Amino acid sequence: MFTFAQPHNTRSSPALAYARIGAVLISIWYGGMGWLTTIFAAQGSNRWWGGPLATLIAGIALLLIWRGHWRWAARWLVVGAVALTSFFAWDFAFQPSTSLLVLTVLVVFAAWTLGMVEASIAAVAVILLGIGLIHWGYIDWAQMLSVSYVLFFLLGITGLMLQGYRRHLEDLRESLSVLEQHKQQLHVLYQAVEQSPDSILVVDLQGHVIYANPAYEERTGYLRSEVMGLPSRQVSLTGLTQEQYQEMRQTVETGQAWQDTVRNRLKNGDIVVDDVRIAPVLNAQGLVSYLVENRHDISQRLEAENRILHLQKHDSVTQLLNRHAVQELLDEMLVALQSGQGPQRYGEHHDWHALLLVEIDRYQNFEITRGRGWMDALVQSFVQRLRAVAPSVAKLARIRINQFAVVVPAVGQSRYGARMHTYAVAQELQEGLRMTQITSLAEGPETVKLSCSVGFTVFPFVEEGLRTDSADHVLRRASVALSQALHQGGGQVHSYSELLDESIQRRMQVEKELLVALDEGQLQVFLQSQVDMNGRVAGAEALVRWKHPVKGLITPGDFIPVAESCGLIVPLGDWMMEQVCLLLNDPRVQAQGCGLSVNVSTVQFRQPQFVDKVRDVLQRTGAPAQQLTLEVTESLLLNDVEGTIRKMVALRALGVQFALDDFGTGYSSLAYLMRLPIQEIKLDQAFIHDLAPMSEHSVLVQALLMVASSKDLRVVAEGVEQAAQAELLQAWEPSILCQGYLFSRPVLAQDWLLNPQLGMTS
């Protein structure tokens, strides 16, 4: 069926508008023709009602059109026209052939307005009317055939036209749909360009601006109206060099996009760094018609990258070089001094350089009491002072939180002379850094008294076993010297020497071997008896000895300080605690009825889980807690007195006893000492060594014995080696226990268990 194509949106369809207009005009024409027909065909007859009837039919059609039912209006007009014309034809109002022609026109109208189905129905009505007229003799077959020929010819032509019109409408609809899609795409692209954060310009082939997005206005300060028609190199790519311009033109002419970094000037004169991309726009023939210029400001990104690069080699608080940068600097200085082929060596005559490490003493105390903000202000002021007192040619760096490096080039032509000169520089630094004034505090300037430790080395110096010097070796040697300065109490200047290095290397070797000794069971427990005035063994102190597989027996004085400095004292102390508890659970010890004491280091005692460890080892070994005595020193009271007392009270609740070792040699308040839940004091051998009836030590020892007696404490005297010393002590305090070579030497625990009298001197 050929009908008008109905678009999706009928309100805006052109076909609907034309159909409505046609229906209205046909309705008006129909009403007018009805009156004309009545006037000319009804003269002298009773056909006067034709005009009013035609008007009624046209009026109903117009009403249907007004209500939006234009197709029903067209159908109504065709039916009314066919009926009225047929009536006039039947009643001889017109010539029958004329009526048939009128009906033919109505069929064509029906085909055009309604479709071929309605037109075919109307054509059938015309044919039937014609057959009726032939039958009644109004027309002959020749007239009917002529009218039929005209009817079907017009109907066929109309059908072909409708089909072509329909195809045309389909093509138009498809074109409109494609155009609508393109319009939407263009709208999206336009909005994307308008809202892009990058500056976008469209320029013609002469480089003149024909479009600028809002981001361009915001970033450059130019208004779009100001730049339209102006050259892009004048208002946008102001930093484009001639070489870049030529390269860009050559690239875009090949249809490729060009990209580079350009330093452009904004309207207010500021310089920004832009990442610029210029892409060609090709027309249908593949030729460049326009250029799209995209600019992205990368100034902040470059600034951030530069900041990152700066922080990679500089300290964030002081802006000094960091450790990595110092290593690079030292390597560069060493490379500059290297000469010769094959194994690298240094010439006989060259400049010696110096590296000084300066560390602020008591830094951790400041940090605990003053806080991070104050410490940053202190460090910044310290660095200002360091810049002022350091040699002008020196390079400064912060390599640790409280440690600074000073690299001084060309300090001498010989190693000795360089060391002397550097020592003088170190003393000047120490003197100049004694007082530092902090000026950046909110509460006002503050002057802080500081002391610094300085360790230094000169280079290049090829250490034994090496082929050349390196930055790592230089830093290590300076660290060795600084470590010695700190070990001497701080506030000292120390130079690196091979002997010092050997001493530290020995300590490191002891540390490594001690770790192996703990794992492989090379440690042994010795016991030294404690006897009363009658010579009876009343107890013993457990002492650790190290039986090295190569070096033999190593005494505690050679490895205990190393264990304390490297942290191995904690596992060593835990091992000793377990061994002593196992000895206490031995039937032979229980048969003797004596207790055992063991030293507990300050580091071990301050472990948060120390009380739990002691409780656990007592439960695992089954040792009687009342026979275990823990020997502690006054150093426990230097920090956290209340915490120390709480731990001791918790252990006393288990039955463990405490002895205060080296009594009288510390600096703690006697009031604090008396608060400790101790049951025994041990007089240090320093008081016993020169003990005589009228000596200075005798007065102090008698006073200490009086303190112990007033608190009902046991007393053990260490280091008793002479009979006169023992007699004097027993005269002052008959219940005193003596421990020393006079009575017994330390013996292996297993041998002591077999015979507690073993090791007793005659």
* Omega within 30 of 0 (cis) for the link into 460: yes
Question: Which pLDDT tens digit goes with each residue over 627-643?
Answer: 999 999 877 776 678 88
Residues ≥6 apart with Cβ < 8 Å to 18? none
Q: Which residue is associated with the tokens 């000492």?
A: 673
Kindly state the tokens that stand for 125: 């009505």
DSSP 231: B
Question: Which pLDDT tens digit goes with each residue over 17-31?
Answer: 665 666 676 667 666
Q: Which residue is associated with the tokens 């046909």?
A: 26
Question: Which pLDDT tens digit goes with each residue over 292-319?
Answer: 999 888 877 877 777 777 778 888 888 9
Question: Which pLDDT tens digit goes with each residue over 61-95?
Answer: 777 777 777 677 767 766 766 666 666 655 554 45
Question: Which CATH code for domain 521-754?
Answer: 3.20.20.450
Question: Which pLDDT tens digit goes with each residue over 392-428?
Answer: 999 999 999 999 999 999 999 888 899 999 999 999 9
Amino acid at 93: A
Question: Which pLDDT tens digit goes with each residue over 238-274?
Answer: 888 889 889 998 998 888 999 998 888 888 888 888 8
Confidence (pLDDT) at 410: 92
- In whole angstroms, what is the distance from residue 531 CA to residue 760 CA? 10
How long is the chain?
A: 762
Rg (CA), the chain: 57
Residues ≥6 apart with Cβ < 8 Å to 143? 96, 97, 100
- In whole angstroms, what is the distance from residue 85 CA to residue 33 CA? 11
User: Mean pLDDT across the stretch 44-65?
Assistant: 68
Spatial contact of 682 and 673, defined as CB atoms under 8 Å apart: no
Any idea where the domains of the chain sit in the sequence? Answer: 10-173, 196-303, 314-338+346-496, 521-754
Helix (H) or strand (E) holding 546: strand 537-548
Spatial contact of 556 and 544, defined as CB atoms under 8 Å apart: yes
Spatial contact of 648 and 658, defined as CB atoms under 8 Å apart: yes
Question: Which pLDDT tens digit goes with each residue over 196-206?
Answer: 888 888 999 88
Distances (CA, A) of 396 to 16, 387, 403, 419, 725: 90, 8, 11, 19, 60
Confidence (pLDDT) at 1: 28
Confidence (pLDDT) at 344: 41
Of 556 and 612, which is predicted with more confidence? 612
Helix boundaries (H) for 394-470: 415-432
> Can you spell out the DSSP letters for 349-372?
S--EEEEEEEEETTHHHHHHHH-H
User: Mean pLDDT across the stretch 652-671?
Assistant: 77
Among 490, 630, 624, 487, residue whose Cα is nearest residue 562:
487
**pLDDT at residue 342 is higher than 80:** no
- In whole angstroms, what is the distance from residue 116 CA to residue 131 CA? 22
- In whole angstroms, what is the distance from residue 573 CA to residue 584 CA? 16
SS3 at position 527: strand
Assigned CATH class of 314-338+346-496: alpha beta
Q: State the Cα torsion 98-101-106-112 to the nearest 10°.
A: -160
Within 10 A of 736 (CB to CB), how many other CB atoms are there? 21
Question: Which pLDDT tens digit goes with each residue over 155-201?
Answer: 666 666 667 777 888 888 888 888 888 888 888 888 888 888 888 88
Strand partners, 203: 209, 291
Among 552, 538, 449, 513, residue whose Cα is nearest residue 717:
538
pTM here is 0.49
Identify the weakest region by mean pLDDT among 21-25, 94-98, 756-760. Answer: 94-98
Question: Which pLDDT tens digit goes with each residue over 672-705?
Answer: 667 788 999 888 888 887 787 777 778 888 888 8
Confidence (pLDDT) at 481: 92
- In whole angstroms, what is the distance from residue 438 CA to residue 184 CA? 67
Spatial contact of 480 and 504, defined as CB atoms under 8 Å apart: yes
Amino acid at 27: S
Spatial contact of 504 and 561, defined as CB atoms under 8 Å apart: no
User: Mean pLDDT across the stretch 512-526?
Assistant: 89
The topology under which CATH files domain 196-303 is Beta-Lactamase (3.30.450)
> What beta strand segments (E) does 107-235 contain?
199-203, 209-212
Mean pLDDT of the chain: 81
- In whole angstroms, what is the distance from residue 643 CA to residue 687 CA? 30
